[in-house]
Amino acid sequence: MYHLGLDIGSSSIKIALVNASTGKSVGVVTEPETEMTMEAVKNGWAEQSPEDWWRYVCSGIKRLSSEYSIKTTDISGIGISYQMHGLVLIDKEGNALRKSIIWCDSRAVSIGQNAYDEIGAELCDTHLLNSPANFTASKLKWVKENEPEIYAQIYKMMLPGDYVAYKLSGVVNTTVSGLSEGILWDFKKDEIADILLEYYSLEKSMIPDIVDTFSIQSNVDEKGAGESGLKIGTPILYRAGDQPNNALTLNVFNPGEVAATGGTSGVVYAVTDNLSVKESSRVNNFAHVNYTPGKPTRIGKLLCINGAGIQYRWLLNNLDVDSYDEMNTLANEVPIGSDGIALIPFGNGAERMLKNKEVGTRIVNLNLNNHGKGHLCRAALEGIAFSFVYGMEIMESDGIKVNVMRAGNDNLFRSEIFSTTVSTLIGYDIEIYNTTGAIGAARAANLHKGDFEAFGKTILDNDYIMTFSPQEDKKAYQEAYTTWKKELELILNNK
């Protein structure tokens, strides 16, 4: 038997199949083959059609079944991961009332900021653990203010994963973790956040019923089966936003464990058992996948670094080099600290961890006689590594205690310079795993049984690649980081 994993991203839909008992990956397909489009009617807007996600889910399941010669009747469970913070609205017939306002749409920024100011920082921080900011609840308020004719027709509001589950099953529900990413959960009262619904004058009846993250949430119905090709009655057993799901994929569930990604942007996601909100202006706090009301707290603290992999990719595109491997080889020929060059990598818009300042990219101390391509390559890797370390310092000041970081096998973490630099400066191991969010979601279909130990063993057995450990001699790393940090703080103090 097999489990199916769906990962509903904004650029593509990934569909994975794993062996239900061993967790071994059978195959993964991506739909569509070219990147999905986002519609931007105005600057700062970003929308996608929920029906497109569903169409690609259906075509992907059929393609996966065909390419790997798997009968869909042998699929015994479904797990769903999805792009966080999106807003999907349906009427009583289940039709989408408008395109989804997705995570990178910024139209509701001022609505959320006004809410934070007027409700008050103390109430928002202690009850919501965040500012309402540009999250799902604020996007729903925008619809109420600007599209009253659509708002009047709303039966339920959903997150992207809720919508796909609904299309499979005909059942509308959501999770506490999902509501928390929309800033619709009150952590102090352990219930739906009336404090924000009342401030925004939103109807509580629009919030779907809540089910456990790991449970039989619903079953594929006749309509869902007819369109997807799956068997009627196949259970949906798991659902989570992409960052909590990435942590789950890397076996990050408990305080002291951190998940990291180093793609176009970088993400550090740390699990904690405390409700500290000291850094709520720079770090977001969500209910982790194993958060259960009334039980020991499991909060995922999320820190995003916009200027990460995009910086290294820019160098790849603009230096006379052919590949990341060549860049890494060049960088390895240069000593720790890049012979004095410091590269500030924040060239991808405002950085939340830097209090939303636009710092940009800076190359400092470049000597045109002595420095070459290798120095730039190493300085870029070190600069991005230093930004991760800087972010970890912010998180540790917010109560995070860490004993291990786990990361996917992406370009940055495959670099020995990058991973060793981060590991040495933060003082703990970085474990590298070769896996994806869709595979993690598929495996999580087993967790309704509650065996987290077996789940962790599955990841270790199937995905583990290697561990980067801190170097004993830290002096050169610390000196280079101190130089970089001074340059960054000079910029920040002038902003």
Tokens of 109: 């920024």
Q: CA torsion, points 9, 392, 302, 465, in degrees to nearest 10? A: 40
Q: Prior bond to 32 cis, omega within 30? A: yes
Question: Which residue matches tokens 């920040």?
Answer: 492
The DSSP call for residue 39 is B
Angle at 319 between CA 313 and CA 321, to 5 degrees: 85
Mean pLDDT value of segment 400-412? 91
pLDDT at 485 over 90: yes
Question: Which residue matches tokens 């045109």?
Answer: 368
In the chain, what's the furthest Cα-to-Cα distance?
71
Q: To the nearest whole number, what is the mean pLDDT of the chain?
A: 96
> In this predicted model, what pLDDT tens digit does every residue of 265-312 receive, in sequence order?
899 999 999 888 888 889 999 999 999 998 888 999 999 998 888 889
Amino acid sitting at position 184? L
* CA separation for the pair 247, 440 (Å, rounded): 9
pLDDT value of position 85: 95
> In this predicted model, what pLDDT tens digit does every residue of 115-142 receive, in sequence order?
999 999 999 999 999 999 999 999 999 9
> In this predicted model, what pLDDT tens digit does every residue of 438-483 receive, in sequence order?
999 999 999 999 999 999 999 999 999 999 999 999 999 999 999 9
Q: Are strands 13-19 and 360-364 parallel, antiparallel or unpaired?
A: unpaired
pLDDT at 334 over 90: yes
* CA separation for the pair 406, 252 (Å, rounded): 8
| Partner residues linked to 77 by β-bridges | 3
* CA separation for the pair 478, 468 (Å, rounded): 17
> In this predicted model, what pLDDT tens digit does every residue of 231-248 receive, in sequence order?
999 999 999 999 999 999
Neighbours of 183 (CB within 10 A): 29
* CA separation for the pair 76, 61 (Å, rounded): 14
The DSSP call for residue 87 is B
